Amino acid sequence: MRHGNKNNNLSRTASHRRALLMNLGCQLITYKRITTTVAKAKALRSYIEPLITKTKSTDTKEAISHNHRIVFSYLNDKAAVKELFTVVAPKVVGRPGGYTRIIKLGARQGDNAEMAMIELVDFNDVYGKSVETAAEPAKKTRRSGAPKKKTDDVVNAEAVTVENTEIPVTDSTTEEKKEA
């Protein structure tokens, strides 16, 4: 029975599992996106998101340095910790949680293991732009579908007529024949 065992052991000892998650976490922070198995990606999410949350608290200088030491004890990579506090933290300061996204990629060719891509949400250009530019849905009312009144700009635009002007059309094939 596995009562009270919430974390996935990933078929590793505690030290091996800690080293694995440490390496995956450093790579995720450095490259902002990595590809791994689904089980490792889910374990990494629960490992890295509390560390990202620790980077957001900037109350006092002592708290900042304390958080640096805590995060360094989990990552053991000065470059990754510096990247986390200088590059990642300012981007996630307004986000209340959910700093990572897991996208399933299908089965791996060799051993049929389910693969996934885990990435930092605020560093994806494709999804990040659509979230910022999402428009509000149209307001629904119970009124009848009567046509709306036209504004003066629209009426004036319809009243303006376009004169028929001839635009000289040049045929590229006739110009090529003349040159030859």
> What are the pLDDT digits (tens) for 53-94?
999 876 788 888 899 999 999 999 999 999 999 999 999 998
Asked whether residue 128 is domain-assigned, the answer is yes
Asked whether residue 24 is domain-assigned, the answer is yes
Alpha-carbon gap, residue 121 to 103, rounded angstroms: 11
Whole-structure pTM value: 0.68
> What are the pLDDT digits (tens) for 125-161?
777 554 444 455 666 667 766 666 555 554 444 444 4
Range of the domain at 79: 14-132
Asked whether residue 102 is domain-assigned, the answer is yes
Which domain CATH number covers 66?
3.90.1030.10
Alpha-carbon gap, residue 48 to 31, rounded angstroms: 14
Question: Which residues are CB-contacts of 140 (< 8 A; sequence separation ≥ 6)?
Answer: none
Mean pLDDT to the nearest integer, 35-43? 97
Asked whether residue 147 is domain-assigned, the answer is no
Asked whether residue 32 is domain-assigned, the answer is yes
Residue in 40, 36, 118, 25 with CA at minimum distance from that of residue 75:
25
Asked whether residue 1 is domain-assigned, the answer is no
Asked whether residue 75 is domain-assigned, the answer is yes
Asked whether residue 91 is domain-assigned, the answer is yes
Domain count, the chain: 1
